[in-house]
Structure 1
Amino acid sequence: MDIIELPIQFEYEGQPYYIYPSLIVSGEELTLVDTGYPTFMPLIEKKILELGYDPLNLKNIIITHYDDDHIGALYEFVEKYPSVTVIASEVETPSISGLVKSERLIQAEALLVDMPEEEQASGEDFVQLLKNLRHVPVNQTVREGEWILNGKCQVIATPGHTSGHISLYFPELSSVITGDAAVNEENELAVANPQYCLELASAKESLERLKALQARTYYCFHEGKLGF
Protein backbone atom coordinates (compact mmCIF):
# COMPACT_ATOMS: atom_id res chain seq x y z
CA MET A 1 0.00 0.00 0.00
CA ASP A 2 1.13 3.53 -0.76
CA ILE A 3 -0.26 7.05 -0.43
CA ILE A 4 0.19 9.43 -3.37
CA GLU A 5 -0.31 13.16 -3.06
CA LEU A 6 -2.32 14.72 -5.90
CA PRO A 7 -1.38 18.40 -6.31
CA ILE A 8 -4.30 20.05 -8.12
CA GLN A 9 -3.63 23.58 -9.34
CA PHE A 10 -6.40 26.04 -10.10
CA GLU A 11 -6.99 29.78 -10.27
CA TYR A 12 -9.25 31.92 -8.14
CA GLU A 13 -9.60 35.64 -8.84
CA GLY A 14 -6.49 35.44 -11.00
CA GLN A 15 -4.30 33.86 -8.32
CA PRO A 16 -2.90 30.30 -8.41
CA TYR A 17 -3.98 27.91 -5.66
CA TYR A 18 -3.54 24.21 -4.88
CA ILE A 19 -5.43 21.50 -3.10
CA TYR A 20 -3.95 18.12 -2.30
CA PRO A 21 -6.35 15.16 -2.39
CA SER A 22 -4.76 11.81 -1.59
CA LEU A 23 -4.72 8.62 -3.64
CA ILE A 24 -4.30 5.35 -1.76
CA VAL A 25 -2.83 2.60 -3.92
CA SER A 26 -3.27 -1.03 -2.91
CA GLY A 27 -2.30 -3.39 -5.70
CA GLU A 28 -4.56 -2.50 -8.61
CA GLU A 29 -7.17 -0.86 -6.39
CA LEU A 30 -7.34 2.89 -5.92
CA THR A 31 -9.00 4.88 -3.15
CA LEU A 32 -9.45 8.64 -3.52
CA VAL A 33 -9.69 10.76 -0.38
CA ASP A 34 -11.82 13.86 -1.05
CA THR A 35 -12.83 15.06 -4.50
CA GLY A 36 -12.10 18.79 -4.68
CA TYR A 37 -14.45 21.51 -5.84
CA PRO A 38 -17.30 21.03 -8.34
CA THR A 39 -15.94 20.45 -11.87
CA PHE A 40 -12.57 19.22 -10.50
CA MET A 41 -13.05 15.59 -11.56
CA PRO A 42 -11.15 16.01 -14.89
CA LEU A 43 -8.25 17.70 -13.06
CA ILE A 44 -8.00 14.84 -10.59
CA GLU A 45 -8.36 12.19 -13.29
CA LYS A 46 -5.59 13.84 -15.30
CA LYS A 47 -3.26 13.90 -12.31
CA ILE A 48 -3.97 10.23 -11.55
CA LEU A 49 -3.12 9.33 -15.16
CA GLU A 50 0.03 11.47 -15.11
CA LEU A 51 1.24 9.52 -12.09
CA GLY A 52 0.78 6.24 -13.96
CA TYR A 53 -2.50 5.00 -12.52
CA ASP A 54 -5.84 4.28 -14.16
CA PRO A 55 -8.96 5.99 -12.74
CA LEU A 56 -10.94 2.97 -13.95
CA ASN A 57 -9.39 1.12 -10.99
CA LEU A 58 -11.03 3.52 -8.55
CA LYS A 59 -12.73 1.35 -5.92
CA ASN A 60 -13.44 3.75 -3.04
CA ILE A 61 -13.90 7.43 -2.34
CA ILE A 62 -13.46 8.46 1.28
CA ILE A 63 -14.89 11.83 2.29
CA THR A 64 -13.27 13.37 5.36
CA HIS A 65 -16.08 15.90 5.85
CA TYR A 66 -18.74 18.00 4.18
CA ASP A 67 -17.22 21.11 2.59
CA ASP A 68 -17.48 22.32 -0.99
CA ASP A 69 -13.78 21.71 -1.70
CA HIS A 70 -13.97 18.14 -0.38
CA ILE A 71 -17.27 16.82 -1.77
CA GLY A 72 -17.70 19.21 -4.71
CA ALA A 73 -16.92 16.70 -7.46
CA LEU A 74 -18.27 13.64 -5.64
CA TYR A 75 -21.47 13.49 -7.69
CA GLU A 76 -19.50 13.57 -10.96
CA PHE A 77 -17.20 10.77 -9.81
CA VAL A 78 -20.10 8.56 -8.75
CA GLU A 79 -21.93 9.27 -12.00
CA LYS A 80 -18.90 8.26 -14.08
CA TYR A 81 -17.75 5.40 -11.84
CA PRO A 82 -21.02 3.96 -10.48
CA SER A 83 -19.38 0.93 -8.87
CA VAL A 84 -17.28 3.10 -6.54
CA THR A 85 -17.93 2.76 -2.80
CA VAL A 86 -18.46 6.09 -1.04
CA ILE A 87 -17.22 6.02 2.55
CA ALA A 88 -17.87 8.69 5.20
CA SER A 89 -18.43 9.06 8.92
CA GLU A 90 -21.82 8.37 10.47
CA VAL A 91 -22.11 12.02 11.46
CA GLU A 92 -21.34 13.45 8.00
CA THR A 93 -23.38 10.90 6.04
CA PRO A 94 -26.81 12.60 6.33
CA SER A 95 -25.38 15.85 4.91
CA ILE A 96 -23.43 14.14 2.13
CA SER A 97 -26.54 12.16 1.19
CA GLY A 98 -28.67 15.32 1.19
CA LEU A 99 -30.96 14.15 3.98
CA VAL A 100 -30.22 17.17 6.21
CA LYS A 101 -28.85 20.67 5.71
CA SER A 102 -25.08 20.66 6.18
CA GLU A 103 -23.44 22.36 9.13
CA ARG A 104 -21.42 24.47 6.72
CA LEU A 105 -24.53 25.82 5.00
CA ILE A 106 -26.15 26.58 8.36
CA GLN A 107 -22.99 28.43 9.39
CA ALA A 108 -22.74 30.35 6.10
CA GLU A 109 -26.36 31.48 6.29
CA ALA A 110 -25.93 32.59 9.89
CA LEU A 111 -22.81 34.60 9.05
CA LEU A 112 -24.75 36.54 6.41
CA VAL A 113 -26.87 38.20 9.10
CA ASP A 114 -24.05 40.34 10.50
CA MET A 115 -21.77 40.38 7.47
CA PRO A 116 -20.51 43.82 6.39
CA GLU A 117 -22.29 45.15 3.31
CA GLU A 118 -19.13 44.98 1.18
CA GLU A 119 -18.88 41.25 1.92
CA GLN A 120 -22.53 40.38 1.42
CA ALA A 121 -22.21 39.49 -2.27
CA SER A 122 -19.40 37.01 -1.74
CA GLY A 123 -21.20 35.57 1.28
CA GLU A 124 -24.38 35.07 -0.73
CA ASP A 125 -22.37 33.46 -3.54
CA PHE A 126 -20.88 30.98 -1.07
CA VAL A 127 -24.31 30.11 0.32
CA GLN A 128 -25.57 29.50 -3.21
CA LEU A 129 -22.53 27.36 -4.02
CA LEU A 130 -23.29 25.17 -1.01
CA LYS A 131 -26.95 24.92 -1.97
CA ASN A 132 -25.98 23.84 -5.49
CA LEU A 133 -23.82 20.92 -4.35
CA ARG A 134 -25.24 17.64 -5.62
CA HIS A 135 -25.61 14.79 -3.16
CA VAL A 136 -25.04 11.05 -3.39
CA PRO A 137 -25.79 8.12 -1.10
CA VAL A 138 -23.00 6.99 1.20
CA ASN A 139 -22.37 3.25 0.78
CA GLN A 140 -20.31 2.67 3.91
CA THR A 141 -20.42 4.61 7.16
CA VAL A 142 -17.47 4.48 9.55
CA ARG A 143 -16.78 5.53 13.11
CA GLU A 144 -13.93 6.23 15.49
CA GLY A 145 -11.36 3.43 15.74
CA GLU A 146 -12.76 1.34 12.88
CA TRP A 147 -10.27 -0.40 10.59
CA ILE A 148 -10.91 -0.19 6.85
CA LEU A 149 -9.06 -0.89 3.57
CA ASN A 150 -8.28 -4.49 4.51
CA GLY A 151 -7.24 -3.55 8.01
CA LYS A 152 -4.50 -1.16 6.90
CA CYS A 153 -6.23 2.11 7.78
CA GLN A 154 -7.76 3.23 11.07
CA VAL A 155 -10.47 5.87 11.18
CA ILE A 156 -9.65 8.68 13.60
CA ALA A 157 -12.50 10.96 14.69
CA THR A 158 -11.18 14.52 14.45
CA PRO A 159 -14.15 16.82 15.12
CA GLY A 160 -13.89 20.58 15.22
CA HIS A 161 -13.68 21.74 11.62
CA THR A 162 -17.00 19.92 11.32
CA SER A 163 -18.68 17.64 13.85
CA GLY A 164 -18.12 14.43 11.92
CA HIS A 165 -14.68 15.11 10.43
CA ILE A 166 -12.45 12.04 10.16
CA SER A 167 -8.75 11.55 9.49
CA LEU A 168 -7.06 8.34 8.35
CA TYR A 169 -4.13 6.66 10.12
CA PHE A 170 -1.87 4.11 8.41
CA PRO A 171 0.38 2.57 11.10
CA GLU A 172 2.46 0.47 8.69
CA LEU A 173 3.23 3.57 6.63
CA SER A 174 3.52 5.84 9.70
CA SER A 175 1.26 8.23 7.82
CA VAL A 176 -1.91 10.24 8.43
CA ILE A 177 -4.31 11.78 5.92
CA THR A 178 -5.58 14.77 7.86
CA GLY A 179 -8.32 16.29 5.70
CA ASP A 180 -8.90 19.69 7.30
CA ALA A 181 -8.06 18.55 10.82
CA ALA A 182 -4.56 19.92 10.21
CA VAL A 183 -2.75 22.13 7.74
CA ASN A 184 0.92 22.39 6.85
CA GLU A 185 1.77 25.88 8.10
CA GLU A 186 5.43 26.71 7.57
CA ASN A 187 6.38 23.05 8.12
CA GLU A 188 4.34 22.78 11.31
CA LEU A 189 0.95 21.19 11.85
CA ALA A 190 -1.72 23.77 12.69
CA VAL A 191 -5.50 24.03 12.85
CA ALA A 192 -6.84 24.55 9.33
CA ASN A 193 -8.90 27.71 8.79
CA PRO A 194 -9.72 28.24 12.48
CA GLN A 195 -12.18 31.03 11.60
CA TYR A 196 -14.43 28.46 9.92
CA CYS A 197 -14.17 25.69 12.50
CA LEU A 198 -17.56 24.71 13.88
CA GLU A 199 -15.97 24.16 17.30
CA LEU A 200 -12.47 25.57 17.67
CA ALA A 201 -11.72 23.93 21.03
CA SER A 202 -12.51 20.51 19.56
CA ALA A 203 -10.41 21.30 16.49
CA LYS A 204 -7.43 22.05 18.73
CA GLU A 205 -7.93 18.79 20.63
CA SER A 206 -8.14 16.87 17.34
CA LEU A 207 -4.91 18.47 16.14
CA GLU A 208 -3.12 17.41 19.32
CA ARG A 209 -4.44 13.89 18.88
CA LEU A 210 -2.98 13.71 15.37
CA LYS A 211 0.34 15.09 16.56
CA ALA A 212 0.43 12.44 19.31
CA LEU A 213 0.46 9.72 16.64
CA GLN A 214 3.98 10.93 15.80
CA ALA A 215 3.64 9.85 12.19
CA ARG A 216 6.49 10.35 9.77
CA THR A 217 4.20 11.90 7.15
CA TYR A 218 1.02 13.95 7.42
CA TYR A 219 -0.92 14.43 4.17
CA CYS A 220 -2.73 17.76 4.51
CA PHE A 221 -5.42 18.78 2.04
CA HIS A 222 -4.21 22.36 2.14
CA GLU A 223 -0.51 23.27 1.69
CA GLY A 224 0.51 19.67 1.07
CA LYS A 225 2.26 16.92 3.01
CA LEU A 226 4.56 17.39 5.94
CA GLY A 227 7.35 14.93 6.73
CA PHE A 228 9.26 14.44 9.95
Structure 2
Amino acid sequence: MKIIELPIKFEFNGERNYIYPSLIVWNNELTLVDTGYPNFLTLIENEILKSGNEMDNLKNIIITHYDDDHIGSLFDFKEKYPWVNIIASEMETKYISGQVKSERLVQAEQMLDKMSHEEMEFGKWFIQQLKNLKHVPIDEKVRDGDMILDNKCRIIATPGHTSGHISLYFPGLNSVITGDAAVRENHELTIANPHFCLNVVQAEQSLAKIKTLKAENYYCYHGGKFTFSGGKR
Protein backbone atom coordinates (compact mmCIF):
# COMPACT_ATOMS: atom_id res chain seq x y z
CA MET A 1 0.00 0.00 0.00
CA LYS A 2 1.12 3.54 -0.71
CA ILE A 3 -0.28 7.06 -0.55
CA ILE A 4 0.26 9.44 -3.46
CA GLU A 5 -0.21 13.17 -3.07
CA LEU A 6 -2.08 14.74 -5.99
CA PRO A 7 -1.08 18.42 -6.35
CA ILE A 8 -3.98 20.20 -8.06
CA LYS A 9 -3.07 23.70 -9.29
CA PHE A 10 -5.76 26.26 -10.03
CA GLU A 11 -6.39 30.01 -10.03
CA PHE A 12 -8.80 31.83 -7.74
CA ASN A 13 -9.23 35.59 -7.81
CA GLY A 14 -6.15 35.87 -9.99
CA GLU A 15 -3.95 33.98 -7.54
CA ARG A 16 -2.36 30.55 -7.92
CA ASN A 17 -3.69 27.99 -5.45
CA TYR A 18 -3.20 24.30 -4.71
CA ILE A 19 -5.15 21.55 -3.06
CA TYR A 20 -3.74 18.10 -2.36
CA PRO A 21 -6.22 15.21 -2.59
CA SER A 22 -4.69 11.83 -1.71
CA LEU A 23 -4.66 8.65 -3.77
CA ILE A 24 -4.34 5.33 -1.94
CA VAL A 25 -2.98 2.45 -4.01
CA TRP A 26 -3.56 -1.07 -2.73
CA ASN A 27 -3.63 -4.36 -4.68
CA ASN A 28 -3.97 -2.47 -7.97
CA GLU A 29 -7.08 -0.72 -6.63
CA LEU A 30 -7.34 3.02 -6.17
CA THR A 31 -9.05 5.00 -3.44
CA LEU A 32 -9.37 8.76 -3.88
CA VAL A 33 -9.73 10.95 -0.80
CA ASP A 34 -11.84 14.05 -1.56
CA THR A 35 -12.72 15.38 -5.02
CA GLY A 36 -11.85 19.07 -5.19
CA TYR A 37 -14.04 21.95 -6.25
CA PRO A 38 -16.77 21.68 -8.92
CA ASN A 39 -15.35 20.95 -12.38
CA PHE A 40 -12.11 19.50 -10.98
CA LEU A 41 -12.74 16.01 -12.36
CA THR A 42 -10.34 16.38 -15.29
CA LEU A 43 -7.65 18.04 -13.17
CA ILE A 44 -7.69 15.14 -10.71
CA GLU A 45 -7.89 12.51 -13.44
CA ASN A 46 -4.80 13.98 -15.10
CA GLU A 47 -2.80 13.81 -11.86
CA ILE A 48 -3.87 10.21 -11.27
CA LEU A 49 -2.78 9.28 -14.79
CA LYS A 50 0.52 11.15 -14.32
CA SER A 51 1.14 9.01 -11.23
CA GLY A 52 1.10 5.93 -13.47
CA ASN A 53 -2.33 4.66 -12.46
CA GLU A 54 -5.45 3.95 -14.52
CA MET A 55 -8.89 5.38 -13.80
CA ASP A 56 -10.50 1.99 -14.48
CA ASN A 57 -8.92 0.87 -11.20
CA LEU A 58 -10.73 3.51 -9.13
CA LYS A 59 -12.68 1.54 -6.53
CA ASN A 60 -13.45 3.95 -3.66
CA ILE A 61 -13.85 7.63 -2.95
CA ILE A 62 -13.60 8.68 0.68
CA ILE A 63 -15.05 12.07 1.63
CA THR A 64 -13.58 13.59 4.79
CA HIS A 65 -16.37 16.17 5.14
CA TYR A 66 -18.95 18.32 3.37
CA ASP A 67 -17.29 21.42 1.94
CA ASP A 68 -17.37 22.67 -1.64
CA ASP A 69 -13.62 22.12 -2.14
CA HIS A 70 -13.87 18.50 -0.96
CA ILE A 71 -17.12 17.27 -2.52
CA GLY A 72 -17.39 19.68 -5.46
CA SER A 73 -16.69 17.07 -8.14
CA LEU A 74 -18.10 14.05 -6.32
CA PHE A 75 -21.25 13.93 -8.48
CA ASP A 76 -19.13 14.06 -11.65
CA PHE A 77 -16.94 11.19 -10.46
CA LYS A 78 -19.94 9.05 -9.58
CA GLU A 79 -21.59 9.81 -12.91
CA LYS A 80 -18.47 8.90 -14.91
CA TYR A 81 -17.41 5.94 -12.73
CA PRO A 82 -20.73 4.57 -11.43
CA TRP A 83 -19.11 1.49 -9.87
CA VAL A 84 -17.15 3.61 -7.39
CA ASN A 85 -17.93 2.97 -3.71
CA ILE A 86 -18.40 6.28 -1.88
CA ILE A 87 -17.47 6.33 1.80
CA ALA A 88 -18.24 9.03 4.40
CA SER A 89 -19.04 9.37 8.09
CA GLU A 90 -22.61 8.83 9.22
CA MET A 91 -23.06 12.50 10.06
CA GLU A 92 -21.61 13.91 6.83
CA THR A 93 -23.71 11.42 4.84
CA LYS A 94 -26.84 13.40 5.75
CA TYR A 95 -25.44 16.52 4.11
CA ILE A 96 -23.76 14.91 1.11
CA SER A 97 -26.89 12.96 0.19
CA GLY A 98 -29.15 15.97 0.72
CA GLN A 99 -31.20 14.51 3.56
CA VAL A 100 -30.41 17.54 5.72
CA LYS A 101 -29.33 21.09 4.87
CA SER A 102 -25.57 21.24 5.33
CA GLU A 103 -23.99 22.84 8.37
CA ARG A 104 -21.75 24.88 6.09
CA LEU A 105 -24.71 26.39 4.25
CA VAL A 106 -26.47 27.22 7.51
CA GLN A 107 -23.27 28.84 8.78
CA ALA A 108 -22.75 30.82 5.56
CA GLU A 109 -26.31 32.17 5.62
CA GLN A 110 -25.97 33.19 9.27
CA MET A 111 -22.62 34.90 8.63
CA LEU A 112 -24.12 36.93 5.77
CA ASP A 113 -26.05 39.11 8.24
CA LYS A 114 -22.82 40.11 9.98
CA MET A 115 -20.74 40.83 6.89
CA SER A 116 -19.63 44.25 5.76
CA HIS A 117 -20.77 45.59 2.42
CA GLU A 118 -17.37 44.65 0.94
CA GLU A 119 -17.65 41.06 2.17
CA MET A 120 -21.27 40.64 1.12
CA GLU A 121 -20.54 39.88 -2.52
CA PHE A 122 -18.27 36.96 -1.64
CA GLY A 123 -20.72 35.72 0.99
CA LYS A 124 -23.57 35.59 -1.52
CA TRP A 125 -21.33 33.90 -4.09
CA PHE A 126 -20.24 31.27 -1.56
CA ILE A 127 -23.83 30.52 -0.56
CA GLN A 128 -24.74 30.01 -4.20
CA GLN A 129 -21.73 27.70 -4.64
CA LEU A 130 -23.00 25.53 -1.81
CA LYS A 131 -26.56 25.54 -3.14
CA ASN A 132 -25.28 24.45 -6.57
CA LEU A 133 -23.57 21.32 -5.21
CA LYS A 134 -25.30 18.18 -6.43
CA HIS A 135 -26.28 15.60 -3.83
CA VAL A 136 -24.83 12.10 -4.03
CA PRO A 137 -25.92 8.95 -2.13
CA ILE A 138 -23.28 7.43 0.15
CA ASP A 139 -22.59 3.71 -0.28
CA GLU A 140 -20.69 3.06 2.94
CA LYS A 141 -21.07 4.92 6.25
CA VAL A 142 -18.20 4.75 8.73
CA ARG A 143 -17.66 5.57 12.38
CA ASP A 144 -14.70 6.39 14.60
CA GLY A 145 -12.43 3.37 14.94
CA ASP A 146 -13.76 1.46 11.93
CA MET A 147 -11.12 -0.37 9.91
CA ILE A 148 -11.42 -0.18 6.13
CA LEU A 149 -9.33 -1.00 3.05
CA ASP A 150 -8.56 -4.57 4.15
CA ASN A 151 -8.00 -3.36 7.73
CA LYS A 152 -5.10 -1.15 6.63
CA CYS A 153 -6.87 2.13 7.42
CA ARG A 154 -8.53 3.28 10.65
CA ILE A 155 -11.23 5.94 10.65
CA ILE A 156 -10.44 8.75 13.10
CA ALA A 157 -13.29 11.06 14.08
CA THR A 158 -11.91 14.60 13.96
CA PRO A 159 -14.84 16.99 14.49
CA GLY A 160 -14.49 20.75 14.66
CA HIS A 161 -14.07 21.98 11.12
CA THR A 162 -17.39 20.20 10.60
CA SER A 163 -19.25 17.95 13.03
CA GLY A 164 -18.74 14.69 11.13
CA HIS A 165 -15.22 15.30 9.82
CA ILE A 166 -13.00 12.21 9.60
CA SER A 167 -9.28 11.65 9.11
CA LEU A 168 -7.58 8.42 8.02
CA TYR A 169 -4.81 6.66 9.93
CA PHE A 170 -2.55 4.05 8.31
CA PRO A 171 -0.56 2.31 11.07
CA GLY A 172 1.46 0.25 8.57
CA LEU A 173 2.53 3.39 6.72
CA ASN A 174 2.85 5.52 9.86
CA SER A 175 0.77 8.12 8.04
CA VAL A 176 -2.40 10.19 8.45
CA ILE A 177 -4.58 11.77 5.77
CA THR A 178 -5.90 14.79 7.63
CA GLY A 179 -8.62 16.32 5.45
CA ASP A 180 -9.12 19.72 7.10
CA ALA A 181 -8.36 18.49 10.62
CA ALA A 182 -4.86 19.85 9.99
CA VAL A 183 -3.25 22.09 7.40
CA ARG A 184 0.43 22.60 6.72
CA GLU A 185 1.25 26.23 7.38
CA ASN A 186 4.56 27.92 8.20
CA HIS A 187 6.28 24.54 8.58
CA GLU A 188 3.83 23.25 11.19
CA LEU A 189 0.43 21.60 11.54
CA THR A 190 -2.42 23.86 12.53
CA ILE A 191 -6.22 23.89 12.31
CA ALA A 192 -7.83 24.92 9.03
CA ASN A 193 -9.22 28.46 8.79
CA PRO A 194 -10.57 29.05 12.34
CA HIS A 195 -13.02 31.62 10.92
CA PHE A 196 -14.94 28.79 9.23
CA CYS A 197 -14.57 26.11 11.92
CA LEU A 198 -17.96 25.13 13.24
CA ASN A 199 -16.37 24.45 16.64
CA VAL A 200 -12.85 25.79 17.19
CA VAL A 201 -12.42 24.01 20.54
CA GLN A 202 -13.26 20.66 18.95
CA ALA A 203 -10.96 21.48 16.03
CA GLU A 204 -8.04 22.06 18.41
CA GLN A 205 -8.84 18.80 20.21
CA SER A 206 -8.96 16.91 16.91
CA LEU A 207 -5.62 18.36 15.84
CA ALA A 208 -4.12 17.22 19.14
CA LYS A 209 -5.71 13.81 18.63
CA ILE A 210 -4.04 13.15 15.29
CA LYS A 211 -0.74 14.56 16.53
CA THR A 212 -0.93 12.05 19.39
CA LEU A 213 -0.76 9.28 16.79
CA LYS A 214 2.87 10.40 16.27
CA ALA A 215 2.77 9.53 12.60
CA GLU A 216 5.73 10.31 10.42
CA ASN A 217 3.69 11.68 7.50
CA TYR A 218 0.60 13.88 7.57
CA TYR A 219 -1.05 14.36 4.18
CA CYS A 220 -2.79 17.74 4.41
CA TYR A 221 -5.37 18.78 1.84
CA HIS A 222 -4.20 22.36 2.24
CA GLY A 223 -0.45 22.89 2.35
CA GLY A 224 0.57 19.41 1.29
CA LYS A 225 2.50 16.62 2.95
CA PHE A 226 4.09 17.32 6.33
CA THR A 227 6.83 14.98 7.55
CA PHE A 228 8.08 14.87 11.12
CA SER A 229 11.81 14.32 11.31
CA GLY A 230 11.99 14.24 15.09
CA GLY A 231 11.81 16.94 17.71
CA LYS A 232 8.78 18.79 19.02
CA ARG A 233 5.32 17.80 17.83
The number of residues matched between the two structures is 228
Q: Kindly, what percent of the aligned residue pairs are identical?
A: 63
1:52 aligned onto 2:52: yes
Instruction: Answer yes or no: is 1:152 the counterpart of 2:152.
Output: yes
How many angstroms apart in 2 are the aligned matches of 1:171 and 1:137? 29
Cα distance in 2, alignment partners of residues 88 and 114 from structure 1: 32
Query: Structure 1 CA distance, aligned partners of 2:195 and 2:114?
Result: 15
Aligned residue in 1 for 2:231: none
CA distance in structure 1 between the partners assigned to 2:189 and 2:88 by the alignment: 24
Post-superposition offset of 1:141: 0.1
What is the aligned-residue RMSD (CA, Å)? 0.5
Structure 1 residue aligned with 2:169: 169
Task: Give distance in 2, aligned partners of 1:187 and 1:119.
Answer: 30
Q: CA-to-partner distance for each residue in 1:68-122, whole Å, 9 max, x for gaps? A: 0000000000000000000000010010001110000000000001110111111
SS in 1 for 2:168: strand
State yes or no: 1:203 paired with 2:203: yes
Q: Deviations over 1:19-42 (max 9, x none)?
A: 000000002100000000000000
SS of the equivalent of 1:92 reads helix
Displacement of 1:55: 1.2
Alignment TM-score, normalising by the size of structure 2 = 0.97
User: Which contiguous aligned blocks of 4+ residues in structure 1 show a shift greater than 6 angstroms?
Assistant: none
What residue identity is the alignment partner of 1:91? M
CA distance in 1, matches of 2:151, 2:80: 28
1:85 match: 85
1:216 aligns to what?
216
**Equivalent residue of 2:224, what SS?**
coil
TM-score, scaled relative to structure 1: 0.99
Per-residue deviation at 1:140?
Answer: 0.2
Q: Which amino acid aligns with 1:201?
A: V
Equivalent position amino acid for 1:12 in 2: F
